[in-house]
Amino acid sequence: MAASKQNFMLEPPSFISPISLLIVVAPYYKKIADKLVAGARAEIKQAGGSSELVEVPGALEIPTTIAIASRQLDFDGYVALGCIIRGETTHYDTVCNDSSRALQLLGLQGVCIGNGILTVENSKQAQDRADVSRQNKGGGAALAALHLIALSQKWGQSKGKVGFLSSDEISEA
């Protein structure tokens, strides 16, 4: 049984100055989402950070929201939260794969993101993973973002952009 398995966890990072994170959640399954948010907020608070919360319609909107925020706002990192439960159609696969892929692409551009979008077969699995006293995947996603922020601060500012340039950036070059 996966719930009884013990995995190695890194110690939470520490920060010299306060950090702020944006938690982006798709509350389609509201009770699950609320537990994920509670876990994320607790980890951020324990690290001495602050957070803001924004709700979006679904998991596919999470990466777009983070991309907009990373260009227009001043957060140190982001926590992506939501839950996708397999249904009767292949829509599940599309939402899981595309939301994950988009978050990964943002991460490869240097955006510090913890991915806590649950992809599960049933409601029981979602409840176990969201529960703060059990698997606490919301807290785990926040810790992932915190570790990436710590690495980013340790290694200093970006030496240049990575990825595709927008048409505005091309015309400026």
Take residue 78 and report the two structure tokens written for it.
Answer: 């982001």
The residue whose two tokens read 């943002």 is 106
Encoding tokens for residue 62?
Answer: 């999470």
Active-site pick, 30, 31, 91, 161: 91
Active site residue 147: no
Q: How, if at all, do strands 77-85 and 113-120 pair?
A: parallel
Please answer whether residues 12 and 43 qualify as being in contact, where contact means their C-beta atoms are separated by less than 8 angstroms. yes
- Orientation angle between helical segments 137-155 and 30-46, nearest 10 degrees: 40
Best CA proximity match to 92, nearest among 114, 62, 123, 121: 121
Phi, psi for 74 (deg, rounded to 5) = -120, 65
Q: Which residues are catalytically annotated?
A: 91
